Amino acid sequence: MAEITAVAVKDLRDRTGAGMMDCKKALIESDGDQERAIDLLRKTGVAKAAKRSGRVASEGMIHIATRDRSIAMVEVLSETDFVARSESFTEFARTVAEELFDLPISDGEILAGDELLGLEGGEEINSQLDALRAQVGENIQVGRAIRYDSATDSAGASYVHFGNKIGVLVEVSSVSAAAIETARNVAMHAAATNPSGLDPDDMPKDQVERERAVLIEQAEEEGKPAEITEKIVEGRMRKFFEENALLWQTYVRDPEKKVKDLLTELDEEISVNRFVRFEVGS
């Protein structure tokens, strides 16, 4: 039997676009013959599916999984909503989410699909991805992934909305049942409002600076004195923060409250440590 080298596997992958494990298997079956290996990949549909990888995948789903004190979320993309609702697609998303607990992922780091598949242990996901592409005939992609590993004094909660198109993770500084329920309510709120950060200090600085620059220009065009302009801008910036900073937002289920008010209604003092929101294709 011919020796199957890493170079041979790479050459076949470059020629077909198929996954590494599929290329290696085809080379073994063809005793190292590249042309026969290509034919094998074509027969199984793997090479054909790989060529679809350039097509736009803007549909898909969010899947969330939990294990012990950890919670993981993954975005998996497809070309059509029909495929995104299929059993095989859903099962693949579930598998990827579960695999996130065993991969060498840093707590709280958002990984792109290519980064995830490139991790040690990502080969099996890559192989399953190629197989799913061949099965459904679409460009399937792993979008983003994240895992929260909560400390012993913190707990995470999650919420999935809009036909699995939006997912949110929220971590709070308590493990009580009431705190976890509050975290889930905050996650539900964030799914609806798409906040930019936890509070004004947590929001992207470029977004805040851009908004402030626009508001200064608007106020100056109104011809107000400098000292009045500054007050006008600060007032409008506060409104901007109330619309975009999670804790400052009006709670969607009770317009009389801010989200931060939910944290003061319990018999204990809690805070929101962090949150993350994924929306398919965004």
| DSSP annotation string for 94-122 | HHHHHHTTTS---TT--EEHHHHHTSTT-
Average pLDDT over residues 88-95: 96
Residue 126 pLDDT greater than 80, yes or no = yes
Between CA 197 and CA 166 the distance in angstroms is 17
Whether 64 and 47 map to the same domain: the answer is no
Q: Is residue 188 part of a domain?
A: no
Whether 127 and 73 map to the same domain: the answer is yes
Between CA 179 and CA 276 the distance in angstroms is 18
* pLDDT value at residue 53: 54
pTM for the model stands at 0.80
Residue 182 pLDDT greater than 80, yes or no = yes
User: Which domain, by its residues, includes 40?
Assistant: 6-52
Whether 60 and 144 map to the same domain: the answer is yes
Whether 72 and 85 map to the same domain: the answer is yes
Q: Is residue 238 part of a domain?
A: no
Q: Is residue 187 part of a domain?
A: no
* pLDDT value at residue 17: 66
* pLDDT value at residue 90: 96
Which of 149, 179, 211 is the endpoint of a domain? 149
Average pLDDT over residues 175-195: 97
Domain count for the chain: 2
Q: Is residue 229 part of a domain?
A: no
Q: Do the Cβ atoms of 190 and 168 come closer than 8 Å?
A: yes
Q: Which residue did the predictor score with more confidence, 229 or 112?
A: 112
Q: Is residue 18 part of a domain?
A: yes
* pLDDT value at residue 56: 67
pLDDT band at 224 (very low <50, low <70, confident <90, very high): confident
Whether 96 and 126 map to the same domain: the answer is yes
User: What is the overall mean pLDDT for the chain?
Assistant: 90
Whether 11 and 81 map to the same domain: the answer is no
pLDDT band at 157 (very low <50, low <70, confident <90, very high): very high
Report the CATH number that the domain containing residue 102 is assigned in CATH: 3.30.479.20
* pLDDT value at residue 46: 57
Q: Which two tokens stand for residue 32?
A: 């190292």
Residue 276 pLDDT greater than 60, yes or no = yes
Whether 47 and 11 map to the same domain: the answer is yes
Q: Is residue 67 part of a domain?
A: yes
Q: Is residue 206 part of a domain?
A: no
198 closest CA partner among 251, 141, 255, 260: 260
Whether 121 and 59 map to the same domain: the answer is yes
Report the CATH number that the domain containing residue 20 is assigned in CATH: 1.10.8.10
Whether 70 and 131 map to the same domain: the answer is yes
Q: In sequence order, what are the beta bridge partners of 169?
A: 158, 276
Q: Is residue 239 part of a domain?
A: no
Residue 226 pLDDT greater than 90, yes or no = no
Average pLDDT over residues 96-104: 96
Residue 49 pLDDT greater than 70, yes or no = no
Whether 67 and 131 map to the same domain: the answer is yes
Whether 23 and 87 map to the same domain: the answer is no
* pLDDT value at residue 277: 98
pLDDT band at 245 (very low <50, low <70, confident <90, very high): very high
Whether 45 and 91 map to the same domain: the answer is no
For the chain, what percent of residues have pLDDT higher than 90? 65
* pLDDT value at residue 225: 80
